[in-house]
Structure formats: structure tokens, C-alpha cells
């Protein structure tokens, strides 16, 4: 029966059923089976009870764990310390002889990974990057994302480059068509604005001309240079202007001469008669 409860507890743990996993593993433990202490501690932490996870690490069973299980329990307890805000304790708890990159044990990458997370939480970014790189170097099977985490920390968590999603050819063509339509609309709008500006300019010019005429008193009729006696630019001679007064004077002189003729004749005849 113990092995059945143990199997049920592990299945529940991998399914994320933390409470059920704890119940089954405790039953297996009471029956003398393997309680999988690191799994139980991790389930306690997942349920928001990091203090119970730390208590399990101090139980008598913890001293009898294999090296691999002991390392897994250290990793869980370090995480529980971080949950409690005990960042320095989380770092120190993983500084054990097993933290050796020269070893080829399967749990070495996970131990360095947890150590790097503890360092990062403690604000020791440079040390965290080095620990992640050690985890990546020892992670032959590629079970962790240690290399990516090291890169993210190296360039800064707020400046992580994100690869753009590939754009479908049809979508790209649609985008180009929309851009072309927008450009055509902009050109039409610019042309319409230009025509409106030209009309406004012509109207302003006409208004200006009318205002100028009003100021100068010009009635819009062209002046006749002949009437003003202006100089003809082609000949350089001044046009003669007839003087009505002069014309009238000549007529008066002719009339006076005509009247004087008979008078002289009468005077001559009179003189002769008297003689």
C-alpha cells in the first residue's frame, strides 16, 4: 500500500495538485514508504507555507537523505528563504561543497541555477550572471534556460531584445497597399490645398487692386496721352494741344478786319466829298 500512495503522491505533485500530493506522500511516509521529503517541502512552499518547508529540512529524515535528495532539499529551502525575504540566508544555504562546476552529477546544473537565482534576489547581479553561466556550462542536456537568464542579466532586465514575429507575405502586401492608399490620399489633399491657396491668392490680388483704385480715385478708364499733352515716347515730340482761346482770338481778328474795311472806305469817300 505504501508504494501505491507514494506513486499517487508523485503523480499529484507533477499535476500541480499540491494538497493531494502532500496527503498521499504523508500517508506513504507513515506506512514506512519513501515520503520524498524534497517534494513534500516544495509542495508546502507552493501552498504558500515556506516555514513548513524549512521545518521539513530539519526533520530527522533529512539527515538520511541521499546526496541528490539532500541537494534538492537545499534548493527548495533556499527558495523558501527567498519567499520570506531572507535573501542572504538563501545564498549562504547553497554554498556547500556540492556547488562545484567540475562535478558531472546530474543535479549540479540545478544547484548552480538555484544559486544564481538567490544571488539575483540578493542584488548581486554580476555574481548571478557568473552562476547562470556555470549552470549553462554544466547543463549538457539543456534542461534549464540558464544561458538565456545570463544574457538577460548581462544586458539588463529592462533592455531585453525581443525578436520580431515573422510577418506573413499576404499581411505585408496588405500593409503596403494601405500605405500606398494613404500616400495617394495625402497627395490629393495637398493638391486640393494648393488649388484653394491659388484661388485665395487671386481673390486677395483683386481685392488689393480695387482698394488701390479707390485710394487713387481712378475710375478704371485709361488716360489719353494726347489730351494731357504728353510726350510721344516713339517720336520724342510733344503732341500739339489746340487752345480753344487761341482759336477764338483768330476769329475775332478776322471779324475786326472785315468791319474796318468798309469804315476806311467810307472815310475815304467822305474825305473826297468834302474836298
Q: Give the pLDDT of the chain (275 residues) as one tens digit per residue.
A: 889 999 999 999 999 999 999 999 999 989 888 879 999 999 999 999 999 999 999 999 999 999 999 999 999 999 999 999 999 999 999 999 999 999 999 999 999 999 999 999 999 999 999 999 999 999 998 999 999 999 999 876 544 444 445 545 555 555 455 555 555 565 565 555 555 555 455 555 554 444 444 444 444 433 443 444 444 433 444 444 444 444 444 444 444 444 444 434 443 344 443 33
- The cell numbers describing 189, all together, are 489633399
Domain ranges within the chain, ordered by starting residue? 1-84, 86-162
Cβ(68)–Cβ(49) under 8 Å?
Answer: no
Per residue in 203-249, pLDDT (tens digit) is 555 544 444 444 444 444 334 434 444 444 334 444 444 444 444 44
pLDDT at 103: 93
CA 53 and chain centroid, separation: 47
Q: Report d(CA 94, CA 40) in Å as an integer.
A: 19
- The cell numbers describing 126, all together, are 554580476
pLDDT at 50: 97
Q: What is the largest CA-CA distance in the chain?
A: 197
Of the CA atoms within 13 Å of residue 102, those in its CB half-sphere come to 1
pLDDT at 154: 84
Of the CA atoms within 13 Å of residue 85, those in its CB half-sphere come to 0
Residue (of 114, 119, 111) closest to 87 by Cα position: 119
Cβ neighbourhood burial of 49 (10 Å; 0-12, 13-18, 19+): middle
Q: Report d(CA 215, CA 201) in Å as an integer.
A: 21
Q: Report d(CA 234, CA 192) in Å as an integer.
A: 48
pLDDT at 35: 79
Buried b / exposed e along 11-32 (16+ C-beta atoms within 10 A):
ebbeeeebebbbbbbebbbeee
The residue written with cell numbers 562546476 in the block is 101
Cβ(28)–Cβ(13) under 8 Å?
Answer: no
Q: What is the pTM of this model?
A: 0.56
Amino acid at each position: 500500500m505504501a508504494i501505491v500512495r507514494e506513486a499517487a503522491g508523485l503523480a499529484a505533485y507533477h499535476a500541480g495538485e499540491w494538497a493531494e500530493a502532500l496527503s498521499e506522500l504523508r500517508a506513504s511516509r507513515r506506512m514506512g514508504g519513501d515520503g520524498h521529503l524534497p517534494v513534500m517541502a516544495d509542495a508546502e512552499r507552493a501552498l504558500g507555507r515556506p516555514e513548513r518547508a524549512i521545518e521539513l529540512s530539519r526533520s530527522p529524515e533529512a539527515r538520511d537523505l541521499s546526496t541528490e535528495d539532500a541537494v534538492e532539499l537545499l534548493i527548495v529551502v533556499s527558495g523558501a528563504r527567498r519567499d520570506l525575504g531572507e535573501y542572504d540566508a538563501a545564498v549562504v544555504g547553497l554554498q556547500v561543497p556540492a556547488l562545484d562546476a567540475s562535478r558531472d552529477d546530474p543535479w549540479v546544473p540545478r544547484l548552480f541555477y538555484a544559486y544564481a537565482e538567490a544571488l539575483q534576489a540578493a542584488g548581486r547581479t554580476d555574481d548571478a550572471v557568473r552562476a547562470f553561466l556555470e549552470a549553462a556550462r554544466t547543463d549538457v542536456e539543456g534542461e534549464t534556460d540558464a544561458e538565456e537568464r545570463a544574457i538577460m542579466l548581462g544586458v539588463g532586465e529592462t533592455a531585453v531584445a525581443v525578436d520580431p514575429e515573422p510577418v506573413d507575405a499576404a499581411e505585408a502586401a496588405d500593409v503596403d497597399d494601405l500605405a500606398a492608399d494613404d500616400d495617394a490620399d495625402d497627395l490629393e489633399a495637398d493638391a486640393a490645398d494648393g488649388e484653394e491657396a491659388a484661388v485665395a491668392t487671386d481673390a486677395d490680388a483683386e481685392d488689393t487692386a480695387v482698394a488701390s483704385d479707390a485710394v487713387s480715385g481712378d475710375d478704371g478708364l485709361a488716360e489719353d496721352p494726347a489730351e494731357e499733352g504728353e510726350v510721344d515716347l516713339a517720336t520724342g515730340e510733344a503732341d500739339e494741344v489746340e487752345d480753344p482761346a487761341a482759336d477764338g482770338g483768330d476769329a475775332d481778328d478776322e471779324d475786326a478786319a472785315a468791319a474796318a474795311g468798309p469804315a476806311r472806305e467810307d472815310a475815304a469817300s467822305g474825305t473826297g466829298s468834302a474836298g
